[in-house]
Amino acid sequence: MEFIKPGVNIDFVGKRFIAISCSLIMIFAAIVSLVIHKGPKYGIDFAGGTMVQIKFENPVSIDAIKSGLTDLGLKGSAVQRFGAHDANEYLVRTNKALATGESFSDEVKSSIAKSTGADVEIRRIEMVGPQVGKDLREKALFALFYALLFITIYISGRFELKWILSGVMAGSLIGAVYFLSLFGVSIPVLILVAMIITLFLFWQLNLKYAMGAIVALLHDVMITIGIFSFLEIEFTLPIIAALLTIVGYSLNDTIIVFDRIREDSKRYKGQSLEYIINRSINETLSRTILTSLTTMVVLVCLFFFGGDIIHDFAFALIIGIAVGTYSSIYIASPILLMLEEKRSGHKPAEAAG
């Protein structure tokens, strides 16, 4: 099936500076949002605390629920509706890690029933200690970091046959990060510095395919995190799973384009890299759009009909698929061109028609 007719020749490469400018604005906005909110809004998975899901037969006021929680010594707990408005379900969150045995459940039911004057059903209780939350945050960061580095080994080996160079570099970075983490160095700062060093080394070693892929993936993850921060949506373990899924999907999209660039580089040896990249993107455009649209249909259905438990997970994937499709065209491929300009010392010739 051809969604885009063969022979289309959209000048994607010519618009790269506009696209990159838009991406920089979005990333800057993401960083500003994270600074204003003092980082992502962590759910109890990462922040620690206790969450209780309760249900009533009839509507009750949130203030009445809070009054009952105050009587239990849980003043300041967050209470919000959960699910459909007529479901009469609420989520209670507190930053205290409480003992959640049967007696605790009975105390919550009794106190809230007294303050609201309605029967209450405890649907779910989850508790995560502060140290466990911290450990989960660090492991989530390590998971993203290791995933990105292992991807660069694969990209460098497959497209540039630099398995040993990329493997030694990635192994050294992983070893250094792990070693320094044993001495109590802040994990987020450590990984941020490691990623900056990684990008610098890719640039200096002219690992253009790996550089294009890693910049595109960081771009996708950063914008997704920024949107979640701006909308104040909580970060939980399912969201980390969504980010890793986005990395995998975006990489697949990028590899399709890179494969065609490699093939067209042999087919059109007399042409400039700018022409080859533009032609390759156009040749894979139909497949890229069809793959993204069919995936989006499933995600939109999950978002609207999958229930509140996977609502945020589906939303993260929707953002990631859209941004990932965009980055494989406007971010990953132009990076190849930038590194080619650096290597040759001059701008490539204008794209041929």
Q: What is the mean pLDDT of residues 295-303?
A: 92
CATH of 13-43+132-344, one of 3.30.70.920, 3.40.50.720, 2.60.200.30, 1.20.1640.10: 1.20.1640.10
Q: What is the mean pLDDT of residues 195-219?
A: 87
Q: 3-state DSSP call for residue 120?
A: strand
Q: Across all residues in the chain, what is the average pLDDT? A: 84
- At residue 322 the predicted structure's pLDDT band, cuts being 50, 70 and 90, is very high
Nearest CA-CA partner of 329 in 272, 275, 265, 285: 285
Q: 3-state DSSP call for residue 348?
A: coil
At 89, the amino acid letter reads: E
Nearest CA-CA partner of 148 in 239, 225, 237, 218: 218
Question: Which residue do the tokens 């959960």 mark?
Answer: 82
Q: Give CA–CA dist 3/8, Å, rounded.
A: 11
CB-based contacts of 38, cutoff 8 Å, min separation 6: none
Confidence at residue 346, expressed as pLDDT on a 0 to 100 scale:
54
The pLDDT of residue 254 is above 70: yes
The pLDDT of residue 76 is above 50: yes
336 in Cβ contact with 277 (< 8 Å):
yes
208 in Cβ contact with 199 (< 8 Å):
no
Q: Give CA–CA dist 235/224, Å, rounded.
A: 11
CB-based contacts of 83, cutoff 8 Å, min separation 6: 89, 307, 308
| Architecture (CATH level 2) of domain 49-128 | 2-Layer Sandwich (3.30)
Torsion of the alpha carbons at 143, 147, 148 and 153, rounded to the nearest 10: 140
Q: Give CA–CA dist 248/186, Å, rounded.
A: 27
253 in Cβ contact with 288 (< 8 Å):
yes
Confidence at residue 352, expressed as pLDDT on a 0 to 100 scale:
39
Q: Give CA–CA dist 328/258, Å, rounded.
A: 9
Q: Give CA–CA dist 17/229, Å, rounded.
A: 26
Q: What is the DSSP string of 8-29?
A: ----TGGGHHHHHHHHHHHHHH
Assigned token pair, 189: 């700062």
Q: How many helices (H) and strands (E) does the chain have?
A: 12, 4
At 6, the amino acid letter reads: P
Looking at the chain, how many residues does it have? 353
CB-based contacts of 61, cutoff 8 Å, min separation 6: 116
In this structure, what DSSP letter does residue 347 have?
P
Q: What is the mean pLDDT of residues 319-333?
A: 91
- 134 or 67: whose pLDDT is higher? 67
Angle, helices 16-36/208-230, rounded to nearest 10 degrees: 50
- Which pTM does this prediction carry? 0.83
88 in Cβ contact with 53 (< 8 Å):
no
Q: Residue 95: CA atoms inside 13 Å, Cβ hemisphere, count?
A: 5
Question: Which residue do the tokens 């229930």 mark?
Answer: 307
Neighbours of 307 (CB within 10 A): 10
At 167, the amino acid letter reads: G
Please write the tens of the pLDDT for every residue from 160-183: 888 888 888 888 888 888 888 777
The pLDDT of residue 144 is above 90: no
Q: What is the mean pLDDT of residues 64-89?
A: 81
Nearest CA-CA partner of 337 in 215, 238, 180, 244: 215
- At residue 103 the predicted structure's pLDDT band, cuts being 50, 70 and 90, is confident
The domain limits of the chain are 13-43+132-344, 49-128
Confidence at residue 16, expressed as pLDDT on a 0 to 100 scale:
87
Confidence at residue 71, expressed as pLDDT on a 0 to 100 scale:
81
